[in-house]
């Protein structure tokens, strides 16, 4: 795989791409544990080999209504600012090469959208290239860390009792 290889995944009718080198693995979705007081983008957490991983949804960012994970969904595990996260996708379809000359800056096409890096054409489809460093803004990131700390403290209290 090279720097121009991207994992293609779908959320509703949108096709997204993330660089393949940032995807740890793809797994079938499981039941998510809710995280009280987490940002709206955080759908819950999963336990992946003893590590608590927040699961993020992209539907609200696209102006859609968020929904619960279903068994046919997929989780794309990646890193965000030093923390492991998973993105909830309806499906993961392929790994393709997107050459830089085929991509347009997201700001050229959709000014003000900070969570996308670029757009690219794939046959008749438009691929939205996700900027993994901008999935959460600074406030949402802080809210997530605080919510996860509270969840961990609650778990320790329940284990002690």
Structure tokens at 133: 């460093």
| CA 15 – CA 11 distance, rounded (Å) | 7
120 in Cβ contact with 15 (< 8 Å): no
Whether the model clears a pTM of 0.75, i.e. scores above it, the answer is yes
Residue-wise pLDDT for 85-98, tens only, equals: 999 999 998 887 76
Q: pLDDT tens-digit profile of 108-142?
A: 554 444 444 444 455 556 666 656 666 778 888 89
Report the range of poorest mean pLDDT among 47-51, 73-77, 131-135, 151-155. 131-135
pLDDT of residue 129: 65
CA distance 120 to 76: 20
CA dist., res. 62 & res. 90, Å (int):
14
- The residue extents of the domains of the chain are 5-160
CB-CB contact of 96 with 5 (8 Å) = yes
Eight-state DSSP code of residue 86: E
Q: Mean pLDDT, to the nearest integer, of 18-34? A: 91
Q: What is the pLDDT of residues 66-78, one digit of tens each?
A: 888 999 999 999 9
Tokens of 134: 């901008």
Classify domain 5-160 by CATH number.
Answer: 2.40.50.180
Report in angstroms the alpha-carbon separations of 35 from 15, 29, 43, 144, 147. Answer: 27, 17, 8, 9, 7
**What confidence score (pLDDT) does residue 117 get?**
46
Q: Where does residue 36 rank: exposed (0-12), middle (13-18), buried (19+ CB within 10 A)?
A: exposed
- Tell me which range, 6-15, 27-36, 54-63, is most confidently predicted by mean pLDDT: 27-36
């Amino acid at each position: 795989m090279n720097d121009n290889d991207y994992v293609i995944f779908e959320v509703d009718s949108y096709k997204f791409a993330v660089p393949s080198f940032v995807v740890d693995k793809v797994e079938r979705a499981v039941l998510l544990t809710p995280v009280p007081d987490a940002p709206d983008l955080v759908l819950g957490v999963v336990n992946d080999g003893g590590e608590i991983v927040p699961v993020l949804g992209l539907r609200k960012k696209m102006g859609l209504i968020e929904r619960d994970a279903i068994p046919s969904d997929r989780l794309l595990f990646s890193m965000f600012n030093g923390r492991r996260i998973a993105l909830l996708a309806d499906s993961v379809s392929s790994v393709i090469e997107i050459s830089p000359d085929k991509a347009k800056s997201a700001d050229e096409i959709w000014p003000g959208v900070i969570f996308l890096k670029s757009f690219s054409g794939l046959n008749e489809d438009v691929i939205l290239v996700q900027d993994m460093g901008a999935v959460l803004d600074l406030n949402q990131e802080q809210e997530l860390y605080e919510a996860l700390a509270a969840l961990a403290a609650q778990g320790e209290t329940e284990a002690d009792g």
